[in-house]
Amino acid sequence: MKKEVLVFISDCYADWESSYICAELNKPDTEFSVKTLAVQNSPIKSMGGFTVIPDYSIAELPAQFHMLILVGGTSWMKRENDEVKQVVDLCVAKGIPVAAICDASTFLADNGYLDDIEHTGNSLPYLEEYASGYKGSEHFIEKQVVSTERFITANGTSAVEFAKEILSYLQVMPEDQLDEWYHMFKVGFYK
């Protein structure tokens, strides 16, 4: 049986931020399966205009899953995703890794999850402005992606780096193959 990775989506989610990682994790030869999670299971429209019917609502959260991925989007600033905090709390309690990019990282910062661990986000001034509960500025690192034992954080310009870090964390492919994968999507076939 494949290990489920849940991708939390909400109205106007940034569909490109999860595209690289979902495509790789969902390949038939991996041990993973990607499923979408939302506050409710009504249709969700991405920033790119794709309509998705979530696999699970928060009320239907599966008993077991292997990772939670939070993607950015415009609804984080409107506080429409606050209910996902209970899922993040569950992940923390059970030792399930959480990966967040763009304003999903801001959500983690605002709710205190990043106060005592190394992390990144859209920028330190951005977190200080838009995450009123944030107290982790001394642990902020100016990098595209930062990975700790249970949290992966990324800024909104790092969809490829975010995917690479998750693929490495989950040991989806050997490191040399992962380096080739990263180079292909970051640089391309030709310079």
Helices (H), 78-141: 85-94, 103-110, 124-130
**d(C-alpha 167, C-alpha 94), whole Å:** 21
Q: Active site includes 102?
A: yes
**d(C-alpha 41, C-alpha 21), whole Å:** 22
Helices (H), the chain: 16-25, 85-94, 103-110, 124-130, 159-169, 175-186
Q: How many residues does this entry show for the chain? A: 191
3-state SS class at 67: strand
CA angle 160, 130, 141 (to 5 degrees): 50
**d(C-alpha 7, C-alpha 34), whole Å:** 7
The residues that are catalytic are: 102
